[in-house]
Amino acid sequence: MGQLCSSDYGTWGAEKRMYHPSVARAADGTWRLVFQVNDSSPLFAAAYSRNLVTWRPQDYPVMSTQQCLKPVVFANDNGTFDIYYQTKTGDKRWVSASGNFRQFSKDQKSLIDQAAWTRDTATIAGKLHEGNTFDITAQELSTITSHFQQLQTDARLSSERMHDDTKNPLLPHQPVTATLHVSNSEKTISDKLIGIFFEDISYAADGGLYAELIQNRDFEYNAKDRREWNATTAWHSASPIDISTQHPLSSNNPHYAVIVADTLWNEGWDGIAVEAGHKYNFSMYVLADGQKQNFTIQLIGTDGTILASSKLKTQGTDWQQYTCVLSTKKSCTKARLAIIPQKSVRVGLDMISLFPQETFMNRPNGLRRDLAQVIADLKPKFVRFPGGCMSHGQGLDNIYHWNHTVGPLQDRKPDFNIWGYHQTRGLGFFEYFQFCEDIGAEPLPVLAAGVPCQNSAANAQGIGGQQCGIPMDQMPAYIQELLDLIEWANGDPATSKWAKLRADAGHPAPFNLKYIGIGNEDIIGTVFEERYEMICKAIRQKYPEIKICGTVGPFHAPSADYVEGWDFTKRHPELQYMVDEHYYESTGWFMHHRNYYDGYDRTMPKVYLGEYAASTNVKRPNIETALAEALYLTDVERNGDVVEMTSYAPMLAKDKHHNWDPDMIYFSNTEVRPTHAYHVQRMFSVYGGDKYVSTDIQIAPELKHRVGVSLVRHSATGRRYLKLVNALPVELTIKANGLTIPADSKTEEFSGQPTDQTLEMKQGVAGPNVLTLPPYTFRVIEL
């Protein structure tokens, strides 16, 4: 059974284990499975299958006991099921399960005989195994056999790598010719096909896109963020730093530093990078308690040089913000900030901030200009934010609440990040929406569907994974929170308190939110489905114009969440406009699954391919991964009538702080390095259209997965864009029928060897050989 259905309970790794599985066949021929998840949680796993191959995502009914050991299941004649389990003390308990295996009674003491736990034995490959044996039909055996054969075939195809092309006997050694037939037939496709997904992973926000230069500015770091962190992390002084909560600036940020005479230093994120001749806005809140104190604020270079200096005079009896400007004389990549008291007076300090004056679009509390500009140059049609796994969080207490991220900075509620660090929430929903507006992209906020990440650790009750979801009596309040977001984004400040909050932040006009995502890579079990349906119905009732994006789990077909997610969507198509699919795969998988969306039902909700990336064993984007993604996207464009949106993931990763590879853009404090993946996304976005022109490429069948062609038209401008991908190790010449390419047509392309991680983009004009592509080339022709 472990090869057909595996445990999805608890954190990644060793905790996802199946112990003592027990299987029963129902009277209708379907199957039920229960198993023990560990020796400490008050629950067991329960799953349903029609054919033993595809199992519905597991439910985890919670019992009254501390352990649920060795559960066994028996089918009843009336269609229900009896489940028995034991505890560490030897107690035996009974649970009744409904026929659909979604409802479970309260557990009760049972007097069932110990024989219920008698295990079968079988010798396999000379080794004695103990378990639960059961009979299956010849048809069921055939289904299982075909399943494993298909998995083997997929594994073989997915293992194909361009960097092994010299060893591949099926590939040519001489130039190849193909024929392209272009018809006059067109179909409408999405005009929002290429966007971006921003998640605060790998220091993408604090220390990254968010331009704040001071780390732990609010003294709220703690061991939840990272085991070794505390309120003084990134701060230094000659004497131990006194941290107080007696008179906080805000109840949401209760910790602050108390200093007397010692200089307070901040190291920034891997140092503070400053440029000569630039200006930086410094601010901090001071609790002076009626005493006057003067400060010298300095930026100090690694050699002790004073790069910038300014004075601050403070006084008062309560918290007050003070500001000054630091003008740098020299550049430095690893400066430190120094706050130097001028006399011995006890004062409190909080929300200590340093921003470059030159942020993206010169926004206060803004974004790092160079990094934001590289993102803007993608011309994304939408931005999905703030996650990802960060949206549904590490347990119920860590679910992302959008309303904790708006309003004055000191009143925003920081939290730990599921990726192992801290969220200041300085980059909050107002800043996300403003960035979308600044770059002309639709905002697509994604919020939890009432459940946390399925990989969450156990809570105080010993319940891990989705932790049973937000309790049902708390769901109305959570649903109202999501409705309030739409009101905040689109409402009238004259009549709405939430819209007034937006206006008070400097944006009286509505943001014109059109999309909202509910859920991310969730287990599509009963706990999820009940809450998701409640949320969607409430949004549809109050804001029917909002387009809801659902989720079908973290993997593509034939994964259990994908299958159940789409089954649920097809049973309830009215709930959502589109669903979010995710998959990270090898380059071979992308080359051999280019027809993935060909058979999708055009009458059902549309697809948002929200997270995907091709990878090789080196885990960094290169020519091979870029070409695999370009090949796949030519067919996504062809299926742009069912695929509404796509976004590569992850987008950002800071040097020395990677949580995930590969990524689209790598950066440090001073550099931004777009990858091959970035340029594929940019080329499909900049040279996108809303009409797909029917084409057919004729080439030897064994080579077709290595050649990609897509022709689109932008109806507003009349421009047509021809994308050509040659992932072969030899030159490819295309003979075009029904297409004329003017000699002055602009082109853009890249090429190289599969393992190349450096990239040279080339721009030019068509010329006579524009349809001859060197090996491993992606070219766009603007017609």
- On whether the CB atoms of residues 765 and 744 are closer than 8 A, the answer is yes
Q: Return the structure tokens found at 368.
A: 């790092």
In the chain the first and final C-alpha atoms are separated, in Å, by: 56
- On whether the CB atoms of residues 219 and 722 are closer than 8 A, the answer is no
**Residue in 509, 518, 582 with CA at minimum distance from that of residue 547:** 518
Which residue, chain included where needed, has tokens 């976004």?
647
Cα 408 from chain centroid? 27
- Give CA separation, 39 vs 19, 44, 449, 456, in Å: 9, 10, 29, 17
Which residue, chain included where needed, has tokens 């001859």?
772
Q: Would residue 15 show up in a list of annotated catalytic residues for this protein?
A: no
CA angle at 133 for the pair 129 and 135, rounded to the nearest 5°: 145
Q: Which residues contact 28 (CB under 8 A, 6 or more apart)?
A: 79
Which residue, chain included where needed, has tokens 């409402």?
491
**Residue in 3, 1, 8, 10 with CA at minimum distance from that of residue 463:** 10
Options 431, 521, 529, 624, the catalytic residue:
521
3-state secondary structure 665-725: EEECCCCEEECHHHHHHHHHHHCCCCEEEEEEEECCHHHHHHEEEEEEECCCCCCEEEEEE
Q: Are strands 264-266 and 332-341 parallel, antiparallel or unpaired?
A: antiparallel
Q: How far apart are CA 75 and CA 68, in angstroms?
A: 19
- Give CA separation, 171 vs 35, 586, 631, 725, in Å: 48, 19, 17, 16
| 443 cis-preceded (ω within 30 degrees of 0) | no
Q: Which residues are catalytic?
A: 521
